[in-house]
Structure 1
């Protein structure tokens, strides 16, 4: 199966640092409002996915959820979770006090990849 999500080395290092400090984590990428479409990192249980949101994979073992409407738009794209220096548009995410912000890079799946995509988990 083709993964829908991958994580850069720099994002992996930051996730490990945050997990050491905060314990189990989760990621959520909303479709707008205050945080735009920036992925947010929370302590597990610090945010509850809405009905029919999509969990597209694991980032270092932690669930990565996407807003249902945003997933409908990006369902044919691979997500690469990365991290940048600087303060993102939201500020609610656990990496914000460290002067960093998570970012997703997208690319469209090939036809061959689309035929073998890993399934998503939907919240109820």
Structure 2
């Protein structure tokens, strides 16, 4: 099964630090303007999800969601959550640390597309 979303080792270290401070976590990428198109990390359950959100899988024990409209643009790519230095302007938990999560992507191969892990809407399977 080909995973749709992965996480870098650098990002895993930050997730561990954030989990120690905030408990269980979740990620969401809305596709909104500015930093809204970056992955944002929240305490699990803090962000209200609905049928406009797609679950792509888990990264380091955290659910990763994306807005349905954004998923239409990214569904042909494998995403990797990484970090970079510099403060973003979002409400994501890592911002006070002087870093931010970013997405790196690559197109799936033909073989990978045939083995993609399923996604689901917040309320049902897609």
The TM-score with structure 1 as length reference comes to 0.94
Task: Give 5+ residue unaligned stretches, structure 2.
Answer: none
**Cα RMSD, aligned residues only:** 1.1
Q: Moved runs in structure 1, 4+ residues, more than 6 A?
A: none
Query: C-alpha distance in 2, partners of 1:70/1:36?
Result: 11
- Which deviations, in whole Å up to 9, do the C-alpha atoms of 1:72-106 show, x marking residues without a partner? 11101000000111112x33000001111000001
Structure 1: where are the runs of 5+ without partners? Answer: none
- DSSP-derived class of the 1:36 partner: helix
Matched residues in 2 for 1:53 and 1:72: separation?
A: 11
Q: Using the TM superposition, name which of 13-22 and 32-41 deviates more.
A: 32-41
Equivalents in 1 of 2:71, 2:25: separation in Å? Answer: 21
Post-superposition CA distance 1:6-57 (Å, at most 9, x none)? 1100000000000011000000001113533011000011102231411111
Q: Does 1:76 align with 2:113?
A: no
Q: How many residues align?
A: 123
Contact 1:54 1:68 (8 Å CA) reproduced: yes
- Are the aligned partners of 1:50 and 1:67 in contact in 2 as well (CA < 8 Å)? no
Query: Could you say which residue in structure 2 is the equivalent of 1:41?
Result: 41
Q: Is the 8 A contact 2:31 2:70 kept in 1?
A: yes
Equivalent pair of 1:49/1:67 in contact (CA under 8 Å): no
Partner residue, 1:112? 111
Name the CA distance, whole Å, in 2 between partners of 1:14 and 1:37.
20
Give the structure-2-normalised TM-score: 0.93
